[in-house]
Chains A and B, each alone.
Chain A
Amino acid sequence: MRVPLSWLREFTPVEEPADRIADALSFLGLVVEASEAVPSPFDGIVVARVLATRPHPSADRVHLVDVDAGDGEARQVVCGAFNMKEGDLVPLATLGAVMPNGMEIGRRKLRGEWSNGMLCSAPELGVGPEGPSPAIFVFAPGSVSPGQPVAEAFGFGADVVFDLEISPNRGDCFSVVGVARDLAAGLGLPFSISEPPHFVAGDIEAPVIKVDPAAFELCPRFTGTVVEGVGEASVSPLVRRRLTLAGMRPISPVVDASNYVMLELGQPNHPYDISRLRGRGLGVRRGRSGERLVTLDGVERQLCPDDIVISDAEGTAVGLGGIMGGAGAEISSTTTTVLLEAANFDPLAISATGSRLGLLSEARTRFERGVDPELALRAVDRFVELLGPGVRRGPTVDARQGLPAPLEVPFRASRANAVLGTSLSEQQCASLLGRLGFEPVHRDEPGRDGLGGPLVFRVPTWRPDCTREVDLVEEVARIHGYGNIERTLPPRPSKPCGLAEWQRARRSVRVVLAGTGASEAWSSTFLSKRDLELAGLGTAGAVAVENPLDSSQSILRTSLLPGLLRAARSNRERQAGALSLFEVGNVFAVPAALEARVTGGQVPRGAAAEAESLGPSSGAGGGLVYRAVKGIVEWEQLGMVAVGSGVDAGYGARAWEVLAGALRLSAPALVAAPMEGAPIFGALAVTGALHPGRRAVMTVAGRSVGVLGELAPEVAARSGLVGRVAVLLADLGRLLSHPPRPWLAHGVSKYPAVDLDMAFSVAEVVAAADVHLTVTDVAGDLAEDVVLFEVWRDSSLGEGRRSLNFRARLRAADRTLTDDEVANVRERVAKAVAERHEGQLRGR
């Protein structure tokens, strides 16, 4: 909303400098987005008196006019218009003046005669429309005097325009009056609005106004007034100037007056050409299914029963109530009599119709935020006043039903102080509210505390947003000033606080992965199905976005993999070398579709129910895993992708090893299990993405938490990545939901250790981890540590076999081990490995 300062000053005598006013407005909640200083358009243009007019000796299209610009000297001006006579007061652009169109006035000789300036027409000054023949603007006699600047004569000069952002609750501030009222209240200045004259011509017949009973609900007030003589009417230059400053184009006196009233008072209104209205009147009804109307913007609109239709007296639609008039009864240059509509409409109905039709208008903006229902008659009077003495208006037909009575709201100063942290007296509150038009009407019965009842205030009709005590409390705070509220800290909660355990663990995940050299990425939640396919993932169960920004962002990610692959590729395209990226973020799916794909029953059936609850406190095991809203399940995933020389599936396995250790995961393992049934949801669909011989399932305490491995070569190629790509995808909730390994302290032995090296020839298909487990298990308490320190492959071992070289550090807590004891361990381990894994102890 653009508001010229001069217009505000009509209602409140604000004298502060413009920047102070802008601050004051901002601190009332009327955010000043920009203040624009507008210079006077008429520098160097003054009022002059016509002394004489003479013919030009050698031209008959122009004549010579002698004028006095207030200094008593006669100046000769050559002029092409002939409408002035001796004694007339006219605008003279003096030498050096710059016209609104940019033309500079200089001393010029025309056919041998000097012209010392230029007399100006209304269009040249930008204050009126072009007439049928060129005419110089003539001031009304007595209103101005020679030498006076024209800006002053018109009542306007330099100005400041505030561009305000009005919040949706303040319908009243979509008007100059509303802004002025708040500003006056904020600055403690008087505010007044003059009553426009109200003359009703007795000989003008009242129009026909028919409101369908079923429409009162949507249109509780509808007024119609016939205004005659608008064909010759004009509006003052000031009106046109202000409309221009407010951002509207002056069009014709009737339209200008209508717009001016709307901007000034906030009452949208609509003049119809009465000669184009059948039945000489208007009706209001609901729209009919299938009904069509061409609105003023030339678009044909499909109507429905929730719409408010303005019709002529015979029922034909002529406008969309509260939003836009129809093209049919539009006023034109030949219009002489209008039927002016000023009404009140239901905000929700206007909002629903407007958003359904995608139709924005000044009227909609105001009605959907709430217009003062008592404004209509004033608006009619003001409209007539603006069109000048030449027009005559008849009686107003005022159809109203179901308008709410002025609201009365009980208010307790004690409540205001409790909410605000202030110590204002009731009298102070009443005074602050009074500045905004809230009037105390009576006092309610005392409450149970016996401390005197609340003071009941009548809410001004222009503030439909204030319906509750707390709304009045806000008004008190606003006018009192938010900055004047004393600041303190709230009482602190008495229980210990801190991050939840799973939140701390999640931080550890990030820190540990960064410690492996990976950098954290943040990719968009939006993907396309093609992104999933490119990454070798299934598309079933993906949640679609109804109104995506574009088709490449039409679904919610079911996996972090596509985003990470894209990030890896774009980095490679920018000449990045090796790269390791990880991300922690939410992924989404429709569970029904995914559950159907799972075999082995690993998807928690209760996931949706589990998820409905809030926060980590509710999930079993302490971590929130799934959240489901309206059948969409989301859960947090951990993803990692690495590319570069030396990268293969083992990269992820090594990262897992670090992660498992740092998080003290309980019995972490990598299982080369078949993928079916093991992982869950998004991770499951990874099957197609990973190299079939180079993938493993990560498990914690025997429960799968995710997959890692190497991207299948065809997927890597499709993703534009060269070389092997390491991938790790885990379900974060599952990863963190099992309690960590217990923290038990073991004393350290002071006795010497014996390191026992054992190399086993084992088939390639046997997992090293299984052999390691056997060694550790059989060596028992004596094994302080068992490591796989080398893997050796050679054809001498036989087809499909390799040598796993373990070193066990044996040590007893209470003695030095004997050679026999060590040999015994060696025997038992060798036997177990032979039995369980068909492994042969080498070198003996």
Chain B
Amino acid sequence: MNAVTQAAQRGKELVEGARSVAELRAVEPEAFGKRSAFARLTGSLRDLAPTERREVGRALQEARSELEAFFGKRMAELEEQEASRRAGSERLDLSETALLARWAGGGLAEAPPSPAMRGHLHLVTQVREELEDIFVSMGFEVMEGPEAEDDWHNFQALNMPPHHPARGMFDTFYLDLGEGGSGGQGAPEGGGERGPSAVLRTHTSPVQVRLMESRQPPIYAVVPGRCYRRDTPDASHLPVFHQIEGLVVDEGISMGHLAGTLDAFVQAFFGPGRRARLRPSFFPFTEPSAEFDVTCWVCHGVGCRTCTGSGWVELGGCGMVDPAVFDAVGIDAERYTGFAWGFGIDRMAAARTSLADLRDLLDNDIRFLSQF
């Protein structure tokens, strides 16, 4: 037993003697690590009688844990000391730096301001802003909403009750609310119960719902933003991506207006002479629903590899707002009609720049970023 006390004493002295973090780390093996008396004593336990072995073993363990705790405390002390020493010796008055920087461009300057080196906006930002500007010029507002959504806004209000097969169209990320997360923050205007879970929005459409819940038509809005689907990333899919969608709700709005709006947009973005083409499709939140294609931006409709020879490239989905959605948000579906569309900003960026692999967009390689 005496040997245990001695080992503990020796270890404590070593730890106390260390004057820096580096020194402390250096004495660890000898204090209670591989080269310590503890290691030797543990090794010789098997030579003892079983009862004695148990007793000594327990004592060893206790002494060792005590020493380890002491070591941890000492380490924290030394780290703090070193940090504050460094803080003192390396202290910078950043307001001084800022003031000196102001001098460089100030009215009293002796030299002209240095022409700054240009940085680069992200390709997706630039395309998003261009899209926003086109729609703003056509009379739309730009609306935004949360990326972490509840089931009601992402699915139920969009005519996808629980277990609806259309939910299978979206591979959804669910969020763990843990203990901190409580229920919803009050019921939506349109009534209906909220689902149990929080999700990362699978599309920008929940913002439509929030918009329609918060005000009556007329509504002319586009919604850009980040969306999430549980896809394994590849050249044409990212689990984190960007969408922009539009919503028009007013009296007398028809599918002809939808097609006309898309035509106008396609011409503004891709150039004169391009057209949008609608094909019947299915989305739970629109009826009638359509996919929309645009004249191929590579071959201008002649047929090439990009459009697999058809002259058209699929861009997104659209349709007339389903009356069930209007019911969910409390808008009179007899009086008002509306249309909505949506497509991927990243894909538009790829189309614009002949980008082969979408993954380049979030790699943040400066050689890529500085191309745009």
* B253-297 residues at the A interface, CB under 8 angstroms: 253-257, 259-261, 263-264, 277-282, 287-291
Give A609 to B184 CA distance when docked, in angstroms: 11
Within 8 A of B (CB), among A599-613: 608-609, 611-613
Contact of B96 among A170, A493, A648, A791 (CB under 8 A): A791
Could you list 19 A-B pairs, sorted by A, with CB under 8 Å? A470-B287, A470-B320, A470-B322, A492-B139, A497-B141, A500-B141, A514-B120, A549-B230, A549-B239, A588-B147, A614-B210, A615-B214, A649-B94, A654-B101, A693-B88, A767-B93, A768-B95, A769-B96, A790-B100
**Pair B257/A489 contact, Cβ less than 8 Å:** yes
Residues of A within 8 A of B (CB): 26-29, 31, 167-170, 347-348, 351-352, 355, 368-369, 418-422, 468, 470-471, 473-474, 477-478, 482-483, 485-493, 497-500, 503, 507, 510-511, 513-526, 541, 543-549, 556, 567, 570-571, 574, 576, 579-582, 585-586, 588, 590-593, 608-609, 611-616, 618, 624, 627-632, 634, 648-650, 652-654, 656-658, 661, 669-672, 691-696, 708-710, 712-713, 755, 764, 766-770, 772, 784-785, 787-791, 804, 807, 809
Query: Is residue B354 within 8 Å, beta carbon to beta carbon, of the partner chain?
Result: no
Query: Is B305 on the interface with A (CB-CB < 8 A)?
Result: no
**A521–B87 contact, CB under 8 A?**
no
Residues 69-113 of B at the A interface (beta carbon under 8 Å): 83-84, 86-103, 105-108
* Most A CB within 10 A of own CB, among B147, B228, B230: B147
CB pair A804 B148 closer than 8 Å: no
Q: Verify B169–A556 contact, CB threshold 8 A.
A: no
Contacts of B186 in A (CB 8 A): 612
Q: How far is the CB of B361 from chain A (nearest CB, A)?
A: 6
- Nearest Cβ in chain B — how far from A547, in angstroms? 6
Instruction: Decide if B136 is an interface residue (CB 8 Å cutoff).
Output: yes
Q: Which residues of B contact A661 (CB under 8 A)?
A: 102, 105
Q: Is B168 an interface residue (CB 8 A)?
A: yes
Q: In the complex the two chains form, what is the Cα distance from A23 to B222 in whole Å?
A: 32
Contact of A510 among B121, B145, B197, B287 (CB under 8 A): B121
- Tell me the complex Cα distance, A488–B260, Å: 5
Contact of B129 with A by CB under 8 A: yes
Evaluate whether A168 and B252 lie within 8 angstroms (CB atoms) in the complex, with A497-B136, A520-B119, A788-B103 already known. Answer: no
B140→A632 contact, CB < 8 A: no
Chain A residues lying within 8 Å of B180, measured Cβ to Cβ, are 541, 590-593, 631
6 new A-B contacts, CB < 8 A, other than A420-B254, A543-B176, are A348-B163, A487-B259, A516-B116, A549-B232, A574-B367, A630-B183
User: Which residues of chain A are near B250, meaning CB under 8 Å?
Assistant: 490-491
In contact, B119 and A630 (Cβ under 8 angstroms): no
A-chain residues with CB within 8 Å of residue B290 when the two chains form the complex:
482
B26 within 8 A of A: no
B107 to chain A, nearest CB (A): 5
A547-B322 in contact given A482-B280, A614-B207, A669-B95 (Cβ < 8 Å): no
Q: How far is the CB of A3 from chain B (nearest CB, A)?
A: 17
Of the candidates B87, B213, B364, which one forms a contact with A571 in the assembled complex, judged by CB atoms under 8 Å apart? B364
Complex contacts, A656 vs chain B, CB 8 Å: 98
Asked if B96 contacts A767 (CB within 8 A), the reply is yes
Shortest CB-to-CB span from B166 to chain A, Å, is 5
Instruction: List residues of chain B with CB within 8 A of the CB of A478.
Output: 280, 288
- Residue from the list B124, B253, B288, B322 in contact with A522, Cβ < 8 A: B124
Report if B245 contacts A (CB, 8 A).
Answer: no
Partner of A524 from B106, B220, B240 at Cβ < 8 Å? B240
Taken together as a complex, chains A and B put the C-alpha atoms of A611 and B200 apart, in Å, by 17
A672 adjacent to B287 (CB under 8 Å): no
Contact of B99 with A787 in the complex, beta carbons under 8 Å = yes
**Would you give the shortest CB distance from A555 to chain B, in whole angstroms?**
9
B362 and A522 within 8 A (CB): yes
Distance of A496 from chain B, by nearest CB (Å): 9
Distance between Cα atoms of A29 and B87 in the complex (Å):
67
Please tell me if the beta carbons of A586 and B198 are within 8 angstroms of each other in the complex. no
The reply to whether A627 and B145 form a contact with Cβ atoms under 8 Å apart is yes
Q: Provide the bound-state CA to CA distance between A671 and B307, in Å.
A: 57
Which residue of chain B lies nearest to A577 when distances are taken between CB atoms in the complex?
B366
B213 to chain A minimum Cβ distance, whole angstroms, is: 8
Q: Do B147 and A586 touch (CB < 8 A)?
A: yes
Which residues of chain B from 304 to 347 have a CB within 8 Å of any chain A CB?
320, 322-323, 337
Give the residue of B95, B116, B240 whose beta carbon is less than 8 angstroms from that of A767.
B95
Inter-chain contact A499/B142, CB cutoff 8 Å = yes
* Whole-angstrom CA separation of A331 from B135 in the bound complex: 62
Check if B28 is an interface residue, CB within 8 A of chain A. Answer: no
Closest B residue to A612 by beta carbon equals B185
- A524 and B148 within 8 A (CB): no
Q: Determine whether B43 belongs to the interface, using a CB cutoff of 8 Å to chain A.
A: no
Residues of A within 8 Å of B248, CB to CB, are: 490
A545 in contact with B88 (CB, 8 Å)? no
A514 x B207 contact (CB < 8 A): no
A785-B254 CB under 8 A given contacts A580-B119, A614-B210, A615-B211: no
Partner of A545, one of B98, B174, B181: B174
Given A614-B207, A693-B88: A518 touches B119 (CB 8 Å cut-off): yes
**B369 within 8 Å of A (CB atoms):** yes
Decide: A421 and B254 in contact? CB cutoff 8 A.
yes
Among B149, B230, B282, the residue within 8 A (CB) of A629 is: B149
User: B50 interface residue, CB < 8 Å from A?
Assistant: no
Contact among A29, A632, A653 for B279, CB-based, below 8 A: A29
Q: Is chain A's interface secondary structure helix, strand, loop, or mixed overall?
A: mixed
Contact A546-B366, Cβ < 8 Å, known A474-B288, A482-B278: no
Docked complex: B125-156 residues within 8 A CB-CB of A: 125, 129, 132, 136, 138-150, 153
| Contact A693–B220 (Cβ < 8 Å) | no
Give A692 to B92 CA distance when docked, in angstroms: 10
Residues of B within 8 A of A804 (CB): 96
* A187 CB to nearest chain B CB (Å): 15
- In Å, the complex CA distance between A284 and B71 comes to 69
A672/B177 in contact, CB under 8 A: no
The answer to whether A485 touches B255 (Cβ under 8 A) is: yes
Contact of A789 among B108, B140, B226 (CB under 8 A): B108
CA distance in complex: A521, B369 (Å): 8
Task: Tell me, in angstroms, the Cα distance from A545 to B105 when the chains sit together.
Answer: 47
Query: Is there contact, CB below 8 Å, between B281 and A167?
Result: yes
Residues of the B chain whose Cβ atoms lie less than 8 Å from the Cβ of A570: 363-365
Give chain A nearest CB distance to B159 CB in angstroms.
Answer: 11
Partner of A624 from B144, B279, B365 at Cβ < 8 Å: B144
B130 to A: closest C-beta gap in Å? 12
CA distance A347 to B132 in the complex (A): 41
Closest to A478 in B: B280
A519-B99 in contact (CB<8A): no
* Residues of the B chain whose Cβ atoms lie less than 8 Å from the Cβ of A582: 119
Q: Which residues of B contact A352 (CB under 8 A)?
A: 163
The interface centre, meaning the residue of B149, B264, B277, B282 with most chain A CB atoms within 10 A of its CB, is B282
Whole-angstrom CA separation of A567 from B92 in the bound complex? 26
In angstroms, Cα B150 to Cα A550, docked, is 23
Q: Report the separation of the CA atoms of residues A608 and B232 in the bound assembly, to the nearest whole angstrom.
A: 33
Q: What is the distance, in angstroms, from A217's C-beta to the closest C-beta of chain B?
A: 15
A788 touches B257 (CB 8 A): no
List the A side residues contacting B92 at CB < 8 Å. Answer: 648-650, 693-694, 710
How far does the alpha carbon of A608 sit from the alpha carbon of B362 in the complex, in Å?
A: 30
| Residues 169 to 228 of chain B near chain A (Cβ within 8 Å) | 169, 173-178, 180-186, 197-198, 200, 207, 210-211, 213-214, 218, 220, 226, 228
Query: Which chain A positions have C-beta within 8 A of B361?
Result: 522
Q: Which of A517, A628, A658 contacts B117 (CB 8 A)?
A: A517
CB distance from B24 to the nearest CB of A (A): 15
Residues of A within 8 A of B370 (CB): 519
**Does chain A have a CB within 8 A of B118?**
yes
**B108 A631 Cβ-Cβ under 8 A:** no
Closest to B196 in A: A630
Q: Give the interface centre of B88, B136, B254 by most chain A CB atoms within 10 Å.
A: B254
- Distance of B147 from chain A, by nearest CB (Å): 6
Q: Which residues of B contact A514 (CB under 8 A)?
A: 118-121
Min distance, Cβ A253 to any Cβ of chain B, angstroms: 33
